[in-house]
Amino acid sequence: MSRLKVERVFEDVNPPTHEQGSEPPGRVSKAFSAQRSAVEPVDWHHIEEHRFAGMVATAMERIVRERKVPALVVVAPPKTLGDLRGAFDPDVRSRIIVEVNKDLTRHPIEDIEKHLNAA
């Protein structure tokens, strides 16, 4: 029997940037010059990933405070884990005892528990 349970499910629909934006990157003209340079295209996919991590961090803060959670294990893919580190409140960060840099999205609870036991 698993000791883990689903607390809350966050779903994020985040297609690749090329499916989200249709405008070409802009161009900037320098004053008093004929020079023009391209502006980096907006990475909508990364912006959404960052927003999603912030939403998860806010939910974790609420749970930690309401339930007085003594310790947390955070499992997330590398980029998301980095975004979460930056978004977590210091109170939440102080309770993290283990970070697992792994994408276990859509894995059943039993598989997640096996990965954690092996870590």
pLDDT tens figures, 58-78: 999 999 999 999 998 899 999
Cα torsion through 91, 97, 103, 106, rounded to 10? -80
CB neighbours of residue 76 within 10 Å: 20
**CA-CA distance, 77 to 57, in Å (whole number)?**
15
Q: Is-above-0.75 flag for pTM?
A: no
Q: Where are the domains of the chain?
A: 43-118
**CA-CA distance, 99 to 75, in Å (whole number)?**
6
Tens-place pLDDT, residues 81-110: 999 999 999 999 999 998 999 998 888 888
* 54 in Cβ contact with 8 (< 8 Å): no
